[in-house]
Structure 1
């Protein structure tokens, strides 16, 4: 009870004040959080935990673990979870909106620029494609160092990479995640889990169960409904909802899933797809806002709204559905073991995405490899902000086009 009192002691007396506080802080993060999901968690820790002490350290770490275990964008789900704990269900929605909207607006404008001026084949777009290679390579290195500390997990990751490359379907990734979770459960189920403080979650278990049922109902029903849909919007919503539902490990891992939904179907070209992914690295906020760019490229402003809501909806339903049960689940060594296995497979899937479609499309001549190497060094050793690396990639792409 003392822990619960310590967490709730600083809550504002006015609910409106709490909501406004969440909006201000989340919007600040949405405007300044560059660097991808791993960096976002650092920004969150600084703003939510260190500066404002909205949660204790252990609870924050466990919330991050829950969001890594769930499908969807990890950093966005952490933000939603903190918003829910701070100001209820509406607080979670506002936290997501503040963190997401700035990058959505920028990426939609970028998509309209590409469509209006037909600049998809210019050198600076090629430079953005090469930036994407360096960014994903950095993410793999960082995740690998943290999540693969021994030869057993390294072997699991490489097996996941091989299967992903040789069996390139969404089903293969789902089966890989399930198999890795079961393997982690079996191998690490006896790991010791320290005592955890209680998280104050103002959501009933009944509503949480409703959210979980709705998540699975949409996942199963949408593919059936789009068979009889004549407008194309149900199929469009289904593509992004399914991608958001089946991604483990954060925004980078959505790349191969969403690519198979929009490129082979002809919604957008591969060149435009990679240009948008590169541009997404240049803006703050969650990488899942890439969906706003894709939606705008395919169906204009309406498409961007539908795609954004569809890809983030699973994340919202899952975190809201899981939070009321997390106080019990996070004490389980079985859950912790499954999480270890899943995270290991995620690194392998991401490594496969680095090769295809990123490397095979962006690195086509020696100058491309040279630029990618320079950008990678800028990120890893010079520790330059991602926006600086993006500008360097754009300039490099232009120069390569002049050679």
Structure 2
């Protein structure tokens, strides 16, 4: 039997860059929707990794602070193309949204009005279709029996009745413990593993660098505006549990009270961040561009972007070599089966809130979302076609 998650052959950084550039240009809807796009493009179509290996990565990144979808993309790039592949994946997935938001920073007035509001709402409806497809597909693979379906349902209840990032981590932890008890019969004695090119020493260095920067940057922030900028965005990225949306209040607390960015400008950028593809953490590029103190503009955007992503990626690199060895043991496989089922439950809960409740406001929204879901699941349409169709329809109909 082929080990879970093993990739048939290595790719090149160029191949990784092209795949993630496509995703960076078409992955609308936020971090949960991104996981659906990744699954469709890289698991189903390109077969870089199987369902179980992909769900393992998702579970790991849900545990870690930082942008979960970008961490999953970085890991997939590392798996396919080594360190240069990881860099290519992050750059290609992040650059389009960052560029769009920097352009918006210099011409925000052009995106206002009913047309823009309708377009934004259409993109939210796209997310409903994409997340529903991901939940449906992953449930059939990762929660196919009563025991794992029960774990998924319990994860839904945990997340829905104890909202917040801690509830997500608790749900995955519960899934792992339940898997140890309920899913041992499905575990296999495989000896293979996901071939991440990260040594244990590299992992230790990455973890040490993460904590060193977190401790030292605040001490040096008063000596330089540049260090203060890096510190603000690094700390926000380091303390985020639960995905990109959580970084917004952290950044607002760092930048608005000292007057670096006005609250109106902050909220305008937040609205624009919902309408662009790619990771929500790219909002940092907009903030770096519109900041009052120097560095700002293009330089500020680049510094803020790297600083907000860096802690999450350092933590991922630090965790990968130890997780890679851990997951091949039968007990670990049983735990991961339970954790994978819990991931399905977390995605199911996210399908309702925030995805469904923010997008389905009228019967026509439900009709659009159902159309997108059927296009993806029955007619096997390319995701970007569904994005364009539903966004254009939303813009034509105007805001709900």
Question: What is the TM-score when the length of structure 1 is the normalising length?
Answer: 0.70
Aligned match of 1:156:
158
Confirm whether residue 45 of structure 1 aligns to residue 47 of structure 2.
no
* Closer/same/farther in 2, CA of residues 372 and 277 from structure 1, 3 Å limit: farther
* Closer/same/farther in 2, CA of residues 265 and 46 from structure 1, 3 Å limit: same
Unpaired runs of 5+ in structure 1? 13-17, 165-172
Residue 262 of structure 1 deviates from its aligned partner by 2.6
Confirm whether residue 307 of structure 1 aligns to residue 304 of structure 2.
yes
Aligned match of 1:15:
none
Residue of structure 2 aligned with 1:198, choices 187, 193, 196: 193
Confirm whether residue 106 of structure 1 aligns to residue 100 of structure 2.
yes
Residue 313 of structure 1 deviates from its aligned partner by 1.6
Contact 1:240 1:291 in 2 (8 A): no
Structure 2 counterpart SS, 1:385? helix
Aligned match of 1:167:
none
* Closer/same/farther in 2, CA of residues 3 and 265 from structure 1, 3 Å limit: closer
Distance in structure 2 (CA, Å) of the matches to 1:370 and 1:237: 46
Residue of structure 2 aligned with 1:272, choices 253, 268, 274: 268
Contact 1:107 1:279 in 2 (8 A): no
Unpaired runs of 5+ in structure 2? 144-148, 377-384
Contact 1:211 1:317 in 2 (8 A): yes
Aligned match of 1:169:
none
* Closer/same/farther in 2, CA of residues 244 and 353 from structure 1, 3 Å limit: farther
Aligned match of 1:123:
114
Residue of structure 1 aligned with 2:289, choices 291, 296, 306: 296
Confirm whether residue 207 of structure 1 aligns to residue 209 of structure 2.
no
Contact 2:198 2:321 in 1 (8 A): yes
Contact 2:129 2:373 in 1 (8 A): yes
Residue 209 of structure 1 deviates from its aligned partner by 1.1
Question: What is the TM-score when the length of structure 2 is the normalising length?
Answer: 0.70
Residue of structure 2 aligned with 1:316, choices 309, 313, 317: 313
Aligned match of 1:397:
398
Output the aligned Cα RMSD.
Answer: 4.1
Distance in structure 2 (CA, Å) of the matches to 1:22 and 1:186: 35
Distance in structure 2 (CA, Å) of the matches to 1:221 and 1:98: 30
Aligned match of 2:380:
none
Residue 208 of structure 1 deviates from its aligned partner by 0.9
Residue 244 of structure 1 deviates from its aligned partner by 6.1
* Closer/same/farther in 2, CA of residues 110 and 303 from structure 1, 3 Å limit: same
33-42 or 386-395, which deviates more: 33-42
| Alpha-carbon displacement from aligned partner over 1:38-68 (angstroms, at most 9, x marks no partner) | 112221235643xxxx656764554454344
| Alpha-carbon displacement from aligned partner over 1:129-178 (angstroms, at most 9, x marks no partner) | 433543454466456655694443332132133xx4xxxxxxxx3x3344
Contact 1:263 1:273 in 2 (8 A): no
Aligned residues: 358
Residue 74 of structure 1 deviates from its aligned partner by 4.1
Contact 1:201 1:323 in 2 (8 A): yes
Aligned match of 2:228:
234
Contact 1:34 1:385 in 2 (8 A): no
Structure 1 counterpart SS, 2:275? helix
Aligned match of 2:60:
66
Contact 1:160 1:345 in 2 (8 A): no
Contact 1:245 1:315 in 2 (8 A): no
| Equivalent residues in 2 for 1:3-402, closer than 5 Å | 10-11=9-10, 18-31=12-25, 36-37=33-34, 38-45=36-43, 48-49=46-47, 59-60=53-54, 62-114=56-108, 118-119=109-110, 121-131=112-122, 133-138=124-129, 141=132, 146=138, 149-150=149-150, 151-161=153-163, 164=164, 173=165, 175-190=166-181, 191-192=183-184, 193-196=187-190, 197-219=192-214, 222=217, 228=222, 231=225, 234=228, 237-239=231-233, 241-243=235-237, 245-248=239-242, 253-259=243-249, 261-262=251-252, 266=256, 267=261, 268-269=263-264, 271-280=267-276, 283=277, 285-298=278-291, 299-331=296-328, 332=332, 333-334=334-335, 336-338=337-339, 340-341=341-342, 344=345, 348=349, 351-353=352-354, 359=358, 369=362, 372-383=365-376, 385-397=386-398
| Alpha-carbon displacement from aligned partner over 1:263-284 (angstroms, at most 9, x marks no partner) | 896434365145313321xx4x
